[in-house]
Amino acid sequence: MKKIISLLLAISLLVLAVGCGGGDQAKKDDAKAASSGGKQITMGFSQIGAESEWRTAHTESIKSAAKAAGINLQFSDAQQKQENQIKAIRSFIAQGVDIIAFVPIVETGWDTVLKEAKDAKIPVIVVDRDVKLSDESLYIAKIGTDSVAEGKKVFNWIDEYMKKENKQPRSGDKFNIVVLEGTVGSSVAIGRANGFKEAMAAAPDAAKYTILASQTGEFTRQKGQEVMESFLKSDRDKIDILFAHNDDMALGAIQAIEAAGLKPGKDITIISIDSVKGMFQAMIDGKANCTVECNPLQGDILMETAKKILNKEEVPKNVYVEEGIFPADVAAKTLPERKY
Ligand code: AHR
């Protein structure tokens, strides 16, 4: 009797195990089938590099979304060089991938290679940053963020904060702003700078502010620190506000400000863009004042859009991801919920 019971138990466990395994396989097959009606989709993706905490989160979002969607991702890292991106796109065309997606490191210089993709009948999706083209039909859709809106949010937050805190200029009668710009020629650096200046020009108290210095820190922590050091060398006692085009440069600048014997977040009001965890920690530590979100979680929407395009469905030309704004007083409460 004992033997019969153990045998029955073993058989039922075996049935259960086979059942579960089959379910997993079925799920995998579904993901594949959903992507292309049978044939797995191959996407060639050209990323610009790994210059910031934000970029790492962006790459991770693209890779994990491709996996979840059953899309075969051919990932290429351009190491901050447009020529490497052009080479990668050409190699995707030569391989005959189903679709190409890329983050344009700079706005211009894409017409020829995108025309080659169009001639090869390979649809292109622009991700994160914008391109300037003579023919907009060279790409099907752009998924990313609105950098002009981000720049405007930065100035408007500063203006409100300086009034609310009753801040006074450290020297003279105007608030002196220094700017750490992103990669030269990138749509995000151009858009953020323009949005900031537009909002400043439109503000009723525009005359209270002046941009003392503005220079690229190439979106990296190291360069942000170096450029801030040089700003402080010439204007240590004049700088009231730092606007960094990304959090990494702001985090580098904080080190330079402390080394110069000043209190970041107090002597110099600091605001930047991205909203990565490191910036939340700096705000919790009282060393920064605000971060405007630039959302790197673009993977799922990219894969969905790619499937729709290959399915010949209509897609919007521009898709903007949702973005918030986080001042220091919400940092401690918000940090545990942050995904990047
Ligand atoms: O293009 C998005 C920008 O590029 C992010 O703000 C920055 O951190 C990144 O490197």
Q: Indicate if the pLDDT at residue 285 is higher than 70.
A: yes
Is 9 domain-assigned?
Answer: no
- Would you give the end-to-end CA distance of the chain in angstroms? 58
Tally the C-alpha atoms within 13 A of residue 2's C-alpha that lie toward its C-beta.
0
Residues 198-239: tens digit of each pLDDT: 999 999 999 999 999 999 999 999 999 999 999 999 999 999
Same domain, 200 and 286: yes
- Helix, strand or coil, per DSSP, at residue 292: strand
Res 130: pLDDT: 97
The whole-model pTM stands at 0.89
Q: In the chain, pLDDT over 70 holds for what percent of residues? A: 89
State the pLDDT at residue 22.
33
Cα-to-centroid distance, 251 and ligand 1 (Å): 14
Integer CA distances (angstroms), 164 to 76, 158, 251, 277, in order:
47, 10, 25, 26
pLDDT at 321: 85
Q: Which CATH number is 312's domain given?
A: 3.40.50.2300
Render the burial of 44-66: b for 16+ CB within 10 Å, e for the rest: bbbbbbebbbbbebbbebbeebb
306 and 238 belong to one structural domain: no
For residue 175 and ligand 1, the question of a CB distance below 6 A is answered with no
**Do 272 and 170 sit in the same domain of this protein?**
yes
pLDDT at 192 (0 to 100)? 98
Same domain for 173 and 124: no
Tell me the C-alpha distance between 188 and 126, whole Å: 13
Residue 226 and residue 305 in one domain: no
- Per-residue pLDDT tens digits for 150-209: 999 999 999 999 999 999 999 999 999 999 999 999 999 999 999 999 999 999 999 999
Rounded to the nearest angstrom, the distance between the alpha carbon of 143 and the centre of ligand 1 is: 14
d(CA 115, CA 136): 11
Residue 306 and residue 254 in one domain: no
Does ligand 1 come within 6 angstroms of the Cβ of 52?
yes
Whether 284 and 315 share a structural domain: no
Please indicate, yes or no, whether residues 246 and 267 belong to a single structural domain of this protein. yes
Q: Which of 46, 47, 55 to mutate to test the pocket of ligand 1 (most atoms within 8 A of CB)?
A: 55
Ligand 1 atom closest to Cα of residue 186: 1
Query: What is the residue-averaged pLDDT of the chain?
Result: 91
Q: What is the pLDDT of residue 17?
A: 33
**In a shared domain, residues 135 and 167:** no
Confidence of residue 146 (pLDDT cuts 50, 70, 90): very high
> In which band, very low, low, confident or very high, does the pLDDT at 36 lie, cut at 50, 70 and 90?
low
Number of domains present in the structure of the chain = 2
Task: State what percent of residues in the chain have pLDDT above 90.
Answer: 87
Strand ranges for 194-302 from DSSP E: 209-216, 239-244, 269-274, 290-293
Residue 340 lies in a domain: no
Same domain, yes or no, for 117 and 156?
Answer: no
- Asked if residues 264 and 270 have their Cβ atoms less than 8 Å apart, the reply is yes
Q: Tell me the average pLDDT across 265-283.
A: 98
- Supply the pLDDT for residue 339: 94
With respect to residue 234, please indicate whether it lies within any of the assigned structural domains: yes
Q: Relative to the CA of 51, which ligand 1 atom is closest?
A: 10
Separation between Cα atoms, residue 72 and residue 141, nearest integer Å: 20
Q: Evaluate whether residue 26 is within a structural domain.
A: no
Which domain, by its residues, includes 71? 42-145+296-322
Q: Is residue 274 part of a domain?
A: yes
Gap between the Cα atoms of 16 and 22, Å rounded: 10
> Does the beta carbon of 221 lie inside 6 Å of ligand 1?
no
244 lines ligand 1 (CB under 6 A): no
In a domain, 250, yes or no: yes
Q: Answer yes or no: is the C-beta of 218 below 6 A from any ligand 1 atom.
A: no
The reply to whether ligand 1 has any atom less than 6 angstroms from the CB of 293 is: no
223 lines ligand 1 (CB under 6 A): no
- In a domain, residue 272? The reply is yes
Q: Do 175 and 203 fall into the same domain? A: yes
182 and 193 share a domain?
Answer: yes
CA distance 109 to 315: 25
Residue 338 falls inside a structural domain = no
